[in-house]
């Protein structure tokens, strides 16, 4: 390619064609930016790709560095998993919703647990008052888990569980339920989120301090590498970091930095990187700026592949592949004119598909107001189906590759992310950076800048700071049954009355001993779970040994 | 005589861990000249009340996105009444459906700021209710 | 007076309200403070300072818990910087002292560094008195000792703990300016990190260089890991030793004399400042300012003129 010719032509275009127009019609604003406030040029052309080499930097899908995708056929081979995050109230109600979604074409389950469950409290704990069943399903013991999956064949369905601090316990329960269904653990397909670092950064459902939490996580890596070969042991998450207000670059940078910390911890523990790395997965946000998001996903894949190969010396190609689930951005949903959210979600979902996601959750239009109603969640699912079957974007792999804009932006995001990762390395790694409050501060600054931009109308939010209209209240919002808490507490009592107390105590004690040693705690947790020890009882044993994390970062 | 600064307690009651809004508002209030006491996540009603007393705040701002507001807010209001602190301006924000808003206002939450609220509005609301020099 | 009685009994609401009045320089606070004065002097005031991030709040939290085990009552004044633009502040020290909030015998007050009409150190001194009268055995003042007013605040203390941590790099130089001279006990927090021995050596050297032959107290350097509660009891032992030394050597009395002297001087100065504006008025001052800038007058004459007016008005008032 003769770049000099192009440069000449560009200058001509600038002087002759463009200037004429600019003189008469200046552009709409002074600065054009991405959703993350990165400058966007008027135009991208071959000159922008001079430093980009197709074979080295972009490559083919299914080949290192996987910029174009982790499988060679991508959606031509298999569509992404349509996996709607759901759960509320008690196990019976959630079970109904899961069956509804599966009937309507969802291809994987995604379990939402309530806050007490996520934080290792039983429904009768004082901290659980008012919270039981509100943001997800309440699980107090194996009994609830059995009801949750009643009639759902675990060897056929892949299940993602959004659970972090007590992930080991919920995983153990899942294994136990499968056993009762006659399904052996090695057939189980699914994911546990199990990403504690982002809890300290952005999500807040931690229980134990960082070191023992990392131990639990690597125990799970080890256990699964031997017993659950098809299970994704972690979903290293950027979604929540973005929701907390970060930019696209920060989302990838902090997620990969966390990923590096987990791999570090596992390797230090003595695990062979190629044994557990293939089962690491990621979870990203699909935000408003379509092209920035697509570039972001591609950059993430390339960077992780490089990191795993060069930094950790991984040899198994599966260890180098960044596989991810995406959720459309909850923080962009508006309470005003909720139907507008359907359009937002559509564009966001499109960016995830064009970005090569393995699995996708689309938000419902009413989620700035409440948990999704049945009608709303169906529209959200249909959004994915329309994109998959009617839009044509799935007919070819990585369709936006080669776009001057996309390739340039992919590169720019890569460079900016590496800057952050180097900074974090200098601070001693992600856990130290979190301790020092560095990552949280960066996110808070971005969040505040965003708010200022919206309030000054530099950034338009349709229906909120522009194009407002008279509000009609949205009808038929989901209401969680207020009796759930009482009912759940009763059920809990029944479970406690119907189990063998001495057996429970014995198993809990053994767990405590194991936690205090360097044994892998998973088998002990599994024993506790099978004896119908409650989630709270199990976590309390761990609390006794590990202590509790206290939030202490100043704003 | 009027005091020079408005003191606001921004509190996250219950188990909800989403603090983006609370932190953004804390900054906005600070930029508007107020002193903001932010006490982090998982505040119990007792902690909130005791902090409000010791810090002699003019305003308590409650932020909750977990749906537990109909249990937690009345508890806090009740404790304020018991301690004879009902003169404190209590406002709230987060994910609170419209039908709950009227209920909460009845028991004493003076205003509820739902998603999309301009922070300037919150600042003005507070300033219009608390007189300073 | 009922207010004073309630404060003596530790009524938190009354205490908190009085602190607000004092912070805002309300005249109604004066008679109450006067009445409370007789109950003051018991509490030992411990200043805790150091660069941001060194762990002051955590150390304060742990020391307080240590004292609570011995049934001692504690007051904490947590000072945070205020925005120079808006005057507002985010006061977040309480986050690190969560457990103490519902302890009936601990009172925590967060204070922004700016906007105290009479100055931060005067305001803080009054809050210390209130906590003292309230029955606290110890009052901790926690601040980032950077600005002059914050250094003044530290001077309000009987004992000053300087908290530092390894990895501050060149920031140790910043510490030298002023704070090193008033630190009685040095704490190397986060001492499990790399560089803590090097830091101790640096501090020892600085202390040696600035050693006052007359000084009878050799400042100890204590290693702690605040978040893990390591070194806290040892630190408190040193603090107790120091307090005993202060009492026995008469140095405590000396320090409090200095403080009281300064307090009198500050109050007196404040009185005169008020009178200056009352008798002279802003307008007259502005006139002089303009004359000076137009080169029609010099500042020294201007003051002479204003003093004449002042004395006249004062004389008239007195008669």
Q: Write the secondary structure of A83-94 as one string of H (helix), E (strand) and C (coil).
A: CCEECCCCHHHH
CB A120 within 8 A of CB A166: yes
Query: What value does the mean pLDDT of chain C take?
Result: 88
The predicted structure's pLDDT at residue A339: 95
Query: What value does the mean pLDDT of chain A take?
Result: 95
Residue range A54-455 in CATH 3.20.20.240:
yes
User: Tokens 């960016």, residue?
Assistant: A351
Over pLDDT 70: what percentage of chain A? Answer: 100
User: Between A and C, how many residue pairs show a Cβ–Cβ distance under 8 A?
Assistant: 16
For residues A312 and C30, the model is more confident at: A312
Contact C92 A555 (CB under 8 A): yes
The predicted structure's pLDDT at residue C168: 76
Task: Kindly list the residues from chain B whose CB atom is less than 8 angstroms away from the CB atom of residue A455.
Answer: 118-120
Non-local CB neighbours of A440 within 8 Å, separated by 6+ positions: A201, A202, A434, A553
Q: pLDDT at residue C15 above 80? A: yes
Q: Which residues on neighbouring strands pair with residue C162, listed in sequence order?
A: C49, C186
Task: Kindly list the residues from chain B whose CB atom is less than 8 angstroms away from the CB atom of residue A136.
Answer: none
| Alpha-carbon gap, residue A525 to A545, rounded angstroms | 14
Task: Kindly list the residues from chain B whose CB atom is less than 8 angstroms away from the CB atom of residue A127.
Answer: 15, 42, 44
Q: pLDDT at residue A402 above 90? A: yes
CB A15 within 8 A of CB A22: no
Query: CA C280 → CA C117, C303, C305, distances in Å?
Result: 19, 11, 10
Query: CA B126 → CA A401, A454, B20, B32, B121, distances in Å?
Result: 52, 21, 20, 11, 9
Residue C114 has phi, psi (to 5 degrees) of -100, 170
Is the minimum CB–CB distance between A477 and chain B shorter than 8 Å?
Answer: yes
Over pLDDT 90: what percentage of chain A? Answer: 92
Mean pLDDT to the nearest integer, B43-56: 97
Residue C85 CB neighbours (<10 A): 9
Contact C16 B37 (CB under 8 A): no
The predicted structure's pLDDT at residue C312: 87
Is the minimum CB–CB distance between C12 and chain B shorter than 8 Å?
Answer: yes
Confidence class for position A308, pLDDT limits 50, 70, 90: very high
B contact test, residue of C27, C76, C88, C93 with most B CBs within 10 A: C88
B85 CA: distance to closest CA in chain A (Å): 24
Q: Is residue B33 part of a domain?
A: yes
Mean pLDDT to the nearest integer, C64-70: 97
Confidence class for position C215, pLDDT limits 50, 70, 90: low
Cα nearest neighbour of A550 on chain C: C96
Q: pLDDT at residue A389 above 90? A: yes
Each domain of chain A, given as residue ranges in start order, spans 54-455
| Alpha-carbon gap, residue A545 to C272, rounded angstroms | 62
Task: Kindly list the residues from chain A whose CB atom is less than 8 angstroms away from the CB atom of residue B19.
Answer: 204, 244
Q: Tokens at residue C16, please?
A: 């908190």
Contact B36 C16 (CB under 8 A): no
Enumerate neighbours of A (3 or more CB pairs within 8 A). B, C
DSSP state of B28: H
Over pLDDT 90: what percentage of chain C? Answer: 53
Query: What value does the mean pLDDT of chain B take?
Result: 95
| Alpha-carbon gap, residue C121 to A205, rounded angstroms | 41
Contact A554 C90 (CB under 8 A): yes
Confidence class for position C170, pLDDT limits 50, 70, 90: low
Among chain C, residues having any CB pair with chain A shorter than 8 Å are 53, 57-58, 90, 92-93, 95-96, 98
Contact C16 B1 (CB under 8 A): no
Strands C44-49 and A190-192: unpaired
Q: Is residue B132 part of a domain?
A: no
Task: Kindly list the residues from chain C whose CB atom is less than 8 angstroms away from the CB atom of residue A436.
Answer: 53
The predicted structure's pLDDT at residue A481: 84
Task: Kindly list the residues from chain B whose CB atom is less than 8 angstroms away from the CB atom of residue A129.
Answer: 68, 71-72
Scanning A4-33 for CB atoms below 8 A from B yields none
Confidence class for position C2, pLDDT limits 50, 70, 90: confident
A456 CA: distance to closest CA in chain C (Å): 19
Q: Tokens at residue C134, please?
A: 């309230």
Look at chain B and report how many structural domains it folds into. Answer: 1
Mean pLDDT to the nearest integer, C235-257: 93
Contact B39 C117 (CB under 8 A): no
Confidence class for position B18, pLDDT limits 50, 70, 90: very high
Among chain B, residues having any CB pair with chain A shorter than 8 Å are 14-20, 23-24, 26-28, 38, 40-42, 44, 66-72, 95, 97-99, 114-116, 118-120
Q: For residue A195, how far is the Cα from the chain centroid?
A: 9
Non-local CB neighbours of C115 within 8 Å, separated by 6+ positions: B4, B5, C82, C87
Helix (H) or strand (E) holding A285: strand A280-286
The predicted structure's pLDDT at residue B97: 86
Confidence class for position B25, pLDDT limits 50, 70, 90: very high
Q: pLDDT at residue C176 above 90? A: no
C91 CA: distance to closest CA in chain A (Å): 9
| Alpha-carbon gap, residue C164 to C126, rounded angstroms | 28
CB A165 within 8 A of CB A403: no
| Alpha-carbon gap, residue C164 to C249, rounded angstroms | 28
Contact C88 B31 (CB under 8 A): yes
Confidence class for position A482, pLDDT limits 50, 70, 90: confident
This prediction's pTM: 0.91
Handedness of CA C308, C311, C316, C319 (dihedral sign): negative
Provide the CATH topology of domain C41-250. Rossmann fold (3.40.50)
Range from A81-90, A126-135, A407-416 carrying the lowest mean pLDDT: A81-90
How many residues can be counted in chain C? Answer: 319
- A65 preceded by a cis bond (ω within 30 of 0): yes
Mean pLDDT to the nearest integer, A210-220: 96
A contact test, residue of B18, B67, B103 with most A CBs within 10 A: B67
Non-local CB neighbours of C170 within 8 Å, separated by 6+ positions: none
Q: Which residues on neighbouring strands pair with residue A85, listed in sequence order?
A: A110
Enumerate neighbours of C (3 or more CB pairs within 8 A). A, B
The predicted structure's pLDDT at residue C173: 66
Cα-Cα end-to-end distance for chain B: 8
Is the minimum CB–CB distance between A448 and chain B shorter than 8 Å?
Answer: yes
For residues C195 and B50, the model is more confident at: B50
Q: pLDDT at residue C174 above 60? A: no
C contact test, residue of B35, B41, B44, B86 with most C CBs within 10 A: B35
Confidence class for position C144, pLDDT limits 50, 70, 90: confident
Scanning A363-382 for CB atoms below 8 A from B yields 368-371
Q: pLDDT at residue C306 above 80? A: yes
Cα nearest neighbour of C55 on chain A: A552
The predicted structure's pLDDT at residue C178: 59
The predicted structure's pLDDT at residue C281: 85
| Alpha-carbon gap, residue A158 to A482, rounded angstroms | 31
Contact A244 B20 (CB under 8 A): yes
Q: pLDDT at residue C226 above 60? A: yes
Helix (H) or strand (E) holding A431: helix A430-435
The predicted structure's pLDDT at residue C48: 95
| Alpha-carbon gap, residue A458 to A146, rounded angstroms | 51
The ipTM assigned to this model is 0.95
Residue C46 has phi, psi (to 5 degrees) of -110, 120
Over pLDDT 90: what percentage of chain B? Answer: 88
Confidence class for position C177, pLDDT limits 50, 70, 90: low
CATH number for the domain spanning B17: value is 3.40.50.280
Q: pLDDT at residue C212 above 70? A: no
Residue A160 has phi, psi (to 5 degrees) of -105, 130
Range of the domain at B55: 7-126
Contact C96 A552 (CB under 8 A): yes
Cα-Cα end-to-end distance for chain C: 33
DSSP state of A462: B
| Alpha-carbon gap, residue C222 to C188, rounded angstroms | 6
Cα nearest neighbour of C26 on chain B: B1
Strands B59-64 and C89-91: unpaired
* Secondary structure of chain C in HEC code, one letter for each residue: CHHHHHHHCCCHHHHHHHHHHHHCCCCCHHHHHHHHHHHCCCCEEEEEECCCCCCHHHHHHHHHHHHHHCCCCEEEEEEECCCCCCCCEEECHHHHHHHHHHCCCEEEEEEECCCCCCCHHHHHHHHHHHHHHCCCCEEEEECCCCCHHHHHHHHCCCEEEEEECCCCCCHHHHHHCCHHHHCCEEEECCCCCCCHHHHHHHHHHHHHHCCCCCCCCCCCEEECEHHHCECHHHHHHHHHHHHHHHHHHCHHHHHHHHHHHHHHHHHHHHHHHHHHHHHCHHHHHHHHHHHHHCCCCCHHHHHHHHHHHHHHHHHHHHC
| Alpha-carbon gap, residue C23 to C123, rounded angstroms | 6
Q: pLDDT at residue C213 above 70? A: no
The predicted structure's pLDDT at residue A230: 95
The predicted structure's pLDDT at residue C266: 81
Is the minimum CB–CB distance between C71 and chain B shorter than 8 Å?
Answer: no
**pLDDT digits over A169-197, tens only?**
999 999 999 999 999 999 999 999 999 99
Q: pLDDT at residue C318 above 80? A: no
Q: Tokens at residue A71, please?
A: 């499988």
The predicted structure's pLDDT at residue A69: 97
Q: Quick check: helix, strand or coil at residue A235?
A: strand
Non-local CB neighbours of C125 within 8 Å, separated by 6+ positions: C156, C259, C263
CB B1 within 8 A of CB B30: no
Scanning B58-117 for CB atoms below 8 A from C yields 83-85
Q: Is residue B1 part of a domain?
A: no
Is the minimum CB–CB distance between A322 and chain B shorter than 8 Å?
Answer: no
Handedness of CA A479, A483, A488, A491 (dihedral sign): negative
Q: Is residue B34 part of a domain?
A: yes
Q: Is C162 exposed, middle or buried (0-12, 13-18, 19+ CB in 10 A)?
A: buried
Q: pLDDT at residue A332 above 80? A: yes
Contact B24 A205 (CB under 8 A): no
Q: Tokens at residue A49, please?
A: 């790709």
Q: For residue B49, how far is the Cα from the chain centroid?
A: 11
Q: pLDDT at residue C191 above 70? A: yes
Confidence class for position C167, pLDDT limits 50, 70, 90: confident
């Amino acid at each position: 390619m003769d770049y000099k010719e192009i440069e000449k032509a560009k200058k001509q275009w600038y002087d002759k064609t463009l200037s004429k127009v600019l003189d008469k019609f200046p552009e709409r604003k002074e600065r054009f930016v991405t959703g993350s406030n990165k400058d966007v040029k008027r135009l991208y052309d071959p000159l922008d790709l001079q430093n980009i080499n197709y074979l080295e930097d972009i490559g083919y899908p299914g080949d290192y560095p996987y910029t174009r995708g982790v499988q060679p056929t991508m959606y031509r081979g298999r569509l992404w998993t349509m996996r709607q995050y759901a759960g509320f109230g008690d196990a019976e109600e959630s079970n109904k919703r899961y069956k509804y979604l599966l009937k309507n074409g969802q291809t994987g389950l995604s379990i939402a647990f309530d806050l007490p469950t996520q934080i290792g409290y039983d429904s009768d704990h004082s901290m659980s008052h008012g919270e039981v069943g509100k943001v997800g399903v309440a699980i107090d013991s194996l009994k609830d888990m059995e009801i949750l999956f009643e009639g759902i064949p675990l060897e056929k369905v892949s299940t993602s569980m959004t659970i972090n601090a007590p992930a080991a316990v919920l995983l153990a329960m899942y294994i136990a339920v499968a056993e009762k269904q006659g399904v052996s653990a090695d057939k189980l397909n699914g994911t546990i989120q199990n990403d504690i670092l982002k809890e300290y950064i952005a999500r807040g459902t931690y229980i134990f301090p960082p070191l023992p939490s990392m131990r639990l996580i690597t125990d799970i890596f080890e256990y699964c590498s031997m017993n659950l070969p098809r299970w994704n042991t972690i979903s290293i998450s950027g979604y929540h970091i973005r929701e907390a207000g970060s930019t696209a670059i920060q989302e990838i940078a902090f997620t990969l930095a966390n990923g590096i910390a987990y791999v570090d911890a596992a390797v230090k523990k003595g695990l062979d990187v190629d044994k557990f790395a293939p089962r690491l997965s990621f979870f990203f946000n699909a935000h408003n700026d379509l092209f920035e998001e697509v570039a972001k996903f591609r950059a993430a894949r390339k960077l992780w592949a490089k990191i795993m190969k060069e930094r950790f010396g991984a040899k198994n190609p599966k260890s180098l592949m960044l596989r991810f689930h995406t959720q459309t951005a909850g923080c962009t949903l508006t309470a005003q004119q909720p139907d507008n959210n359907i359009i937002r979600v559509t564009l966001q979902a499109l960016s995830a598909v064009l970005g090569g996601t393995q699995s996708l959750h689309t938000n419902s239009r009413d989620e700035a107001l409440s948990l999704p109603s049945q009608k709303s969640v169906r529209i959200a699912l249909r959004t994915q189906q329309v994109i998959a079957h009617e839009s044509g974007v799935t007919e070819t792999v990585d369709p936006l590759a080669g776009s001057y804009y996309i390739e340039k932006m992919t590169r720019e995001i890569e460079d900016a992310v590496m800057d952050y990762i180097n900074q974090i390395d200098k601070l001693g790694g992600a856990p130290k950076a979190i301790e020092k409050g560095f990552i949280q501060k960066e996110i808070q600054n971005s969040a505040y800048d965003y708010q200022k931009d919206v309030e000054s109308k530099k950034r338009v939010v349709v229906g909120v700071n522009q194009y407002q209209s008279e509000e009609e209240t949205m009808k038929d919002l989901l209401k969680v049954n207020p009796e759930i808490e009482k009912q759940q507490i009763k059920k809990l009592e029944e479970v406690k009355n119907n189990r063998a107390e001495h057996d429970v105590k014995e198993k809990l004690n053994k767990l405590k001993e194991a936690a205090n040693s360097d044994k892998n705690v998973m088998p002990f947790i599994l024993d506790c779970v099978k004896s119908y020890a409650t989630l709270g009882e199990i976590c309390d044993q761990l609390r006794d040994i590990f202590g509790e994390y206290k939030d202490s970062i100043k704003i | 005589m009027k005091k020079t600064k408005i003191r606001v307690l921004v509190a996250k009651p219950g188990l909800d861990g989403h603090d983006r809004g609370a932190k953004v508002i804390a900054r906005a209030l600070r930029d508007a000249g107020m002193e903001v006491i932010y006490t982090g996540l998982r505040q119990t009603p007792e902690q909130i009340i005791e902090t409000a007393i010791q810090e002699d705040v003019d305003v308590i701002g409650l932020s909750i996105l977990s749906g537990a507001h109909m249990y937690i807010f009345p508890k806090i209001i009740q404790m304020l009444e018991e301690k004879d602190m009902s003169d404190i301006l209590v406002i709230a924000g987060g994910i609170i459906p419209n039908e709950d808003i009227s209920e909460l206002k009845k028991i004493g939450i003076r205003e509820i700021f739902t998603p999309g609220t301009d922070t300037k509005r919150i600042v003005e609301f507070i300033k219009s209710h608390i007189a300073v020099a | 007076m009922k207010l004073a009685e309630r404060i003596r009994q530790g009524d938190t609401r009354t205490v908190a309200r009085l602190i607000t009045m004092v912070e805002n320089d309300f005249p109604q606070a004066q008679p109450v403070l006067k009445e409370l004065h007789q109950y003051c002097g018991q509490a030992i005031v411990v200043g805790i300072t150091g660069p941001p991030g060194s762990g002051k709040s955590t150390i304060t939290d742990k020391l307080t818990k240590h004292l609570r085990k011995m049934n001692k009552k504690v007051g904490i004044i947590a000072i945070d910087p205020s925005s120079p633009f808006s005057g507002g502040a985010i006061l977040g020290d309480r986050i690190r002292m969560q457990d103490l909030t519902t302890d009936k015998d601990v009172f925590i007050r967060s204070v922004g560094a700016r906007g105290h009409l009479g100055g931060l150190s005067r305001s803080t001194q009054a809050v210390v008195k209130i906590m003292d009268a309230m029955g606290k055995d110890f009052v901790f003042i926690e601040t980032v000792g950077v600005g002059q007013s914050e250094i003044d605040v530290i001077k309000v203390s009987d004992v000053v703990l300087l908290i530092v941590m390894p990895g501050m790099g060149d920031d140790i130089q910043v510490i030298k300016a002023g704070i090193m001279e008033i630190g009685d006990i040095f704490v190397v927090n986060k001492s499990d990190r790399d560089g803590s021995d090097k830091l101790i050596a640096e501090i020892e050297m600085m202390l040696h260089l600035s050693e006052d032959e007359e000084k009878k107290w050799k400042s100890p350097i204590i290693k702690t890991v605040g978040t893990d509660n390591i070194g806290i009891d040892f630190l408190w032992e040193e603090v107790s030793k120091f307090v005993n030394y202060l009492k026995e050597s008469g140095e405590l009395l000396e320090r409090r004399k200095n403080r009281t002297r300064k307090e009198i001087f500050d109050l007196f100065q404040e009185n005169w400042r008020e009178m200056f504006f009352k008798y002279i008025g802003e307008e007259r001052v502005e006139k002089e300012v303009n004359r000076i800038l137009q080169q029609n007058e010099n500042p020294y004459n201007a003051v002479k003129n204003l003093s004449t007016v002042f004395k006249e008005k004062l004389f008239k008032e007195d008669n």
